[in-house]
Each structure stands twice: as structure tokens, then as C-alpha cells.
Amino acid sequence: MGKVLKCSDVHLGCKFEAHGESEEDVLRVHSEHAKKEHKLTEIRPEDWEKARKATREDDGRKAAGR
Ligand SMILES: [Zn+2]
């Protein structure tokens, strides 16, 4: 079991989900995604904070099937 960050918690309407072993992993994956898909040139401290707060335990199947 790892961590998950749903991009929609930070960028409304985005279906991307970042998965990782740790919060750090998830944030790194998400920052790459945000740069590519949301045209961010840099991730500001408040963006990290927002993403960090939105990161939660990845309990897999509960989130699936929607
Ligand atoms: Zn996104």
C-alpha cells in the first residue's frame, strides 16, 4: 500500500492520479505531470503544500470502480 494524489484535488477536472510508495514519490510524479499537462514552469511552495495535503493513503479498490 502506498500513497495517491488525485490531481483533481489541485487542478479541477483533471483525471490524473499520481501513485507512489511514499509521499515524496507521489509529489515527484505529480510535479512532472503538472509541468507537462498544466504548463507549470515551476512548482511553487504553496503548490507543493497543496499537493502534499491532498496526498492520501492509497487503499486501491475503494477508489476504483467509479
Ligand atoms: Zn493534472
Query: What per-residue confidence (pLDDT) applies to 62?
Result: 59
Centroid of ligand 1 to alpha carbon of 17 (angstroms): 8
pLDDT at residue 59 in the model = 83
> Cα(15) to centroid of ligand 1, in Å?
7
Taking each helix axis as running N to C, give the angle between helix 23-37 and helix 45-54, from 0 to 180 degrees, rounded to the nearest 10: 120
User: Who surrounds ion ligand 1 at CB < 5 A?
Assistant: 7, 11, 14, 16
pLDDT tens profile 3-49: 999 999 999 999 999 999 999 999 999 999 999 999 999 989 999 99
Domain residue extents for the chain: 3-60
